[in-house]
Amino acid sequence: MVSEKTIYAIISAIVIVGGLGIGVAYYESVSALHSTTSEQAATSLTLVISPNNWFNNSTIHHRQPAFFVVEPNGQLSSSALIKLPAHKLITLTIIDYDSGVTPIIGENGTSNNSTYAKVIGTVGNVEYVYNGSTSYINATLSGNASNNITIQKGSGWAVSSLPWVGGASGGWEVTHTFTIVQNGQVLLNVPTYAGTNPSGGSITVTQFYLNNTGSFTWQCFVPCGNELNGWGGAMATAGWMTGEVEVVS
């Protein structure tokens, strides 16, 4: 399980996402956070998902979700290229401000593949969810700071997959996924929990290794863009719902 020391490394810089103030604190015990400008790949990666970013090109003008990387100074940077080390234990934290279940999940906007509701490629094939739902979270986790996202002393909800709810007309309790793929093979899949808060709000923490160097694709497999059955716009644009992971020795 992710240690308390690691968990408390999550929240000390103030960042702004789409006009929303987010409190993200880091303890000094974690000194090497990801930086897209650093030549040394990091062993800790913190991502923020913001749901209301203005996407504008020749055919699409709409607010859409995007992944951002939280830098050591609290600034946000593009997730188009993420550099990570091979053969190192990497701690991943995803702060998700989006919400809502999805009835469709998979490689295209018409598939419903439960693979992407599962935790794949992490230590123990589990992730730890915080502030996801009062039905599931540890009683020691509470509060409404930063849009109902906060971390207090206690353990997260350890899950190996996120459920389907609501019967035939329901959906997966998955807002987004951070998935690393190579030649169609899923190396890592970390789904974020939709929860019950209509304003969104969950934190996902997990750890994993990447043992092959090279360039890989990361992709969200919840179709949340415009056009093309949900696979246009943000879903097909680097730095939004997809990008590259460079694994270096």
Instruction: Report pLDDT digits (tens) over 225-243.
Output: 887 888 988 999 999 999 9
For 65-109, the pLDDT digits (tens) are 999 999 988 899 999 999 999 999 999 999 998 888 899 999 888
pLDDT at residue 112 above 50?
yes
- Would you state the structure tokens that stand for residue 133, as one six-digit string? 């739902």
pLDDT at residue 58 above 70?
no
CATH code at position 121? 2.60.40.420
Beta bridge partners of 96: 49, 202
* pLDDT value of position 239: 96
Instruction: Quote the mean pLDDT of the chain.
Output: 76
The pTM score is: 0.77
- Which range, of 23-37, 49-63, 65-79, 132-146, averages the lowest pLDDT? 23-37
| Residues spanned by the domain of 61 | 4-248
* pLDDT value of position 24: 32
| Phi and psi, residue 6, nearest 5° | -70, -45
Confidence band for 155, pLDDT divided at 50, 70 and 90: low
Residue 157: how many other CB atoms lie within 10 Å: 20
* pLDDT value of position 39: 45
Give the number of C-alpha atoms closer than 13 A to the C-alpha of residue 83, restricted to the C-beta side.
15
Four-point Cα dihedral 124, 209, 49, 145, nearest 10: 60
Domain count, the chain: 1
Residue written as token pair 């890592």: 188
* pLDDT value of position 9: 38
Mean pLDDT of 50-64: 74
| Helix, strand, coil share (%) of the chain residues, nearest 5 | 10, 45, 45
Asked whether the beta carbons of 195 and 133 are under 8 A apart, the reply is yes
For the four alpha carbons of 163, 166, 169 and 175, in that order, the dihedral sign comes to negative
For 20-33, the pLDDT digits (tens) are 333 332 222 222 33
Confidence band for 52, pLDDT divided at 50, 70 and 90: confident
Residue 147, H or E segment: helix 145-148
Asked whether the beta carbons of 248 and 83 are under 8 A apart, the reply is yes
pLDDT at residue 222 above 90?
yes
SS3 174: strand
* pLDDT value of position 197: 60
The separation between CA 84 and the C-alpha centre of its own chain, rounded to angstroms, equals: 16
- Would you state the structure tokens that stand for residue 11, as one six-digit string? 């929240």
